[in-house]
Amino acid sequence: MSSTSVPPDAERIRAFVALDLDAESTRRIARLSDRLRGSTGAPAATWISPQQVHLTLKFLGDAATPRVAHLSEAVAAVARGTPRLRAAAIRVNGLPTLQHARVVVAAVDDPDGHLEGLAGRIEDLCADLGFARESRAFRPHITLARLKRPCDTRSWLRPDLAAASGDVLPTCLVIYRSVLDAAGARYFPLARFELTG
C-alpha cells in the first residue's frame, strides 16, 4: 500500500486506533477506578468514564479525513485476520513514573507480545498511509485518570491494589475521533471491527 495523497483543504480530525474490551473487562476497570477514586490519598483528577475505556494502539494526531477512511479499510482487514486476544493481566501504575505521575493507568501485561505485534502491524499500516511513526516504545495500558497536577503516587497506588487488578479481554479494533472541550477529551467511534481471525 502506498502513501495516500489528500487535498490540502481536507477536513482534519483528531483520531486514534484502539482496542475495545469485553463487557466484563469494562466493569472490572470501572470497579478499579471507583476503588482508586475513593481510596485514601487520591489526588484531584479527571476520571475516564466506563463508556470511554479503551487500549490505544496508535495515536494519529490531526489527520485528514480521507486518510482516516483509507486506514479504516486496512484496519478492517487486520481485524479479520486477528483472533481474539487472550485475557491480559493488568496492574495499576502512574505515567511517566509513579514518583512524577501525570496519568494513572492500568498497565497491561503482554508476555507473549501479541499486543505489541498488533500495535506494530497498525503502525506499519499507518506509515504506509503517510502517518508519522511513533518515536516512543509501545507500552500497552488503559488510561484511568488524568491528574490535575503531577504528583508522587507511590503511597496511593499501593502494591495491594496492583495485585488485585485482575485481567482484561480485548475484543475489537476501533478507530476513534477525539474531541477536546472544557470537560477534557471525549471519544467517538468512527469504525469498529470485531477480531474474527
Secondary structure class of 99 (helix, strand, coil): coil
Highest CATH level, class, for 12-194: alpha beta
Instruction: State pLDDT tens for residues 151-183.
Output: 999 989 877 765 656 788 999 999 999 988 776
Burial class of residue 149 (count of CB atoms within 10 Å of its CB; 0-12, 13-18, 19+): exposed
Can you give the residue ranges of every domain in the chain? 12-194
Cβ neighbours of residue 109 under 8 Å, at least 6 residues apart?
A: 88, 89, 90, 91
Instruction: State pLDDT tens for residues 75-113.
Output: 999 999 998 888 888 889 999 999 999 999 999 988 889
Checking if the pLDDT of 30 tops 80, the result is: yes
Please, are residues 195 and 39 in contact by the beta-carbon 8 Å criterion? Answer: no
| Distance, CA of 148 to CA of 140 (rounded, Å) | 23
Q: What was the pLDDT predicted at 65?
A: 82
Average pLDDT over residues 19-30: 93
H or E stretch covering 28: helix 23-37
| Distance, CA of 106 to CA of 86 (rounded, Å) | 17
Q: Which residue has the higher pLDDT, 10 or 126?
A: 126
Please give the order of strands across the beta sheet that includes 88-95.
Answer: 45-47, 141-151, 101-108, 88-95, 167-168
Confidence of residue 1 (pLDDT cuts 50, 70, 90): very low
Checking if the pLDDT of 6 tops 70, the result is: no
Q: What was the pLDDT predicted at 9?
A: 53
Length of the chain: 197
**Mean pLDDT estimate for the chain:** 88
Confidence of residue 188 (pLDDT cuts 50, 70, 90): very high
Q: What was the pLDDT predicted at 69?
A: 87
Checking if the pLDDT of 144 tops 70, the result is: yes
Neighbours of 28 (CB within 10 A): 20
Global pTM reads 0.87
